[in-house]
Amino acid sequence: QLTSGLESAWNKLRGVDVLTKENIAEPMRDIRRALLEADVSLPVVRRFVQSVSEQAVGVGLIRGVRPDQQLVKIVHDELVTLMGGEVSDLVFAKSGPTVILLAGLQGVGKTTVCAKLAFYLKKLGKSCLLVAADVYRPAAIDQLVILGEQVGVPVYTEGTDIKPSQIAKHGLEEAKKKTIDVVIVDTAGRLQIDKTMMDELKEVKQVVNPTEVLLVVDAMTGQEAAALVTTFNIEIGITGAILTKLDGDSRGGAALSVKEVSGKPIKLVGRGERVEDLEPFYPDRMAGRILGMGDVLSFVEKAQEVMRQEDAEELQKKIMSAKFDFNDFLKQTRAVAQMGSMSRVIGMIPGMGKVTPAQIREAEKSLKIMESMINVMTPEEREKPELLAESAARRKRIATESGKTEQQVSQLVAQLFQMRIRMKNLMGVMEGGSVPALSN
């Protein structure tokens, strides 16, 4: 299992201070093995391991986050990159009906996807027409008609005695007449890639000039996924893929190979047999699933919790002895900034609520200003903020040396004492307290 393989990789790095070529060698072998066992194809695994190793060497302990945890993050981010990074939306034609051509082997879920897509697009306010171009099995047409009824979308059929490309062509004409937004063409699949299937798809593609050619891939497809995607992409040219049956216990290999071998993203995933079981493909969630950490966001959060805990313990001691100083202030604000810059987890940090990128930039800017003032303080001043509260001359010197105004320095000093009070209150050490009036 991928999860346990990766877990043993992380465990080997417990207690390590810095990641080196030597100490990551064994964990990287575990990762490699785990990926292969998850049915990721070998060339993809090689490139992946290489890239992760390069990024990992030299990574050391950053406040509260151990190197092994950071390696998880590196692996996660690389997985996300491998899968295309961002969500890839469906593309719609600028004018006239958008044609979506579905391709794939038999039984992967193409016909089901037709109905799911129609249901999905209806929610986006688009009208759809399903076109039954699988002429090999009459039952396939019936299946599509029933599904169409179920989602309340018309189905265009012409029986089985006519070429799929002609059905598709007529279906498109019908959609134009009725000003329908999206035409979804269901096609026949085979158990294996064969020339007839490819030729037929090529012909349909040529006749209807689709906006999207989506390869439907069963998530359970193992190692062969890479070859399958490559062949379809070379033969007919795909614009993306839909990964189905993700509700089963697939090992994720197919998801990892699609983008890497074809350059085309997975756009949607199917998670069940019902028409509503279709959703956008989120590379980061998939990476989380593959890492077996449920959701890697919660990992990052956990790492930050550790950071907060360690800080909190240390802080508590300081506060007990009323020693929270500018050094701690710097550490605290930096920790907060670090959390802040991970924009993806922002929403998850308790107490931060919804933070906009503009707010983050603003916070980072004010942090830089604070840092530049703290940087020119003497060690003594950093440890004894009272010195600055008591001496206007010191504050003036800091203002001059840091290129800030005296008012900004006063503000910083006041902020520190405010923080002391807030923390004391937070810890229930004492109530009240006040910011000392700054002397002139």
Q: What does the alpha-carbon distance between residue 169 and residue 209 come to, in Å, rounded to a whole number?
A: 10
Q: Extract the tokens encoding 191.
A: 């158990």
Shortest CA distance to 187 belongs to which of 116, 135, 246?
Answer: 135
From the list 5, 189, 253, 265, which residue makes contact with ligand GDP (rule: CB under 6 A)?
A: 189
Q: Which does 108 bind (CB under 5 to 8 A by kind): Mg ion, ligand GDP, none?
A: ligand GDP
Q: What is the phi-psi region of residue 58: left when phi exceeds 0, alpha when psi lies from -120 to 50, beta otherwise? A: left
Site string for Mg ion, 134-163 (x = CB under 5 A): ------x-----------------------
3-state DSSP of 183-217: EEEEECCCCCCCHHHHHHHHHHHHHHCCCEEEEEE
User: Which CB, 98 or 244, lies closer to ligand GDP?
Assistant: 244
User: Which CB, 132 or 398, lies closer to ligand GDP?
Assistant: 132
From the list 69, 88, 111, 239, which residue makes contact with Mg ion (rule: CB under 5 A)?
A: 111
Torsions phi, psi of 133, nearest 5?
A: -110, 20
Does residue 272 interact with ligand GDP by CB under 6 A?
A: yes
Does residue 106 interact with ligand GDP by CB under 6 A?
A: yes
Q: Which does 272 bind (CB under 5 to 8 A by kind): ligand GDP, Mg ion, none?
A: ligand GDP
Please report how close the Cβ of residue 278 comes to ligand GDP at its closest, in angstroms.
Answer: 8
DSSP of 150-166: HHT--EE---SSS-HHH
Q: Which residue's CB comes closest to Mg ion? A: 111
From the list 17, 247, 314, 386, which residue makes contact with ligand GDP (rule: CB under 6 A)?
A: 247
Q: Which does 107 bind (CB under 5 to 8 A by kind): Mg ion, ligand GDP, none?
A: ligand GDP
Amino acid at 250: S
Q: In what order do the strands lie in the sheet with 240-244?
A: 155-156, 128-133, 182-187, 98-103, 212-218, 240-244, 266-270, 278-280
3-state helix, strand, coil in the chain (%, to 5): 60, 10, 30
Q: Which does 67 bind (CB under 5 to 8 A by kind): ligand GDP, Mg ion, none?
A: none
Site residues for ligand GDP per CB under 6 A: 104, 106-112, 189, 244-245, 247-248, 270-273, 277
Site residues for Mg ion per CB under 5 A: 110-111, 140
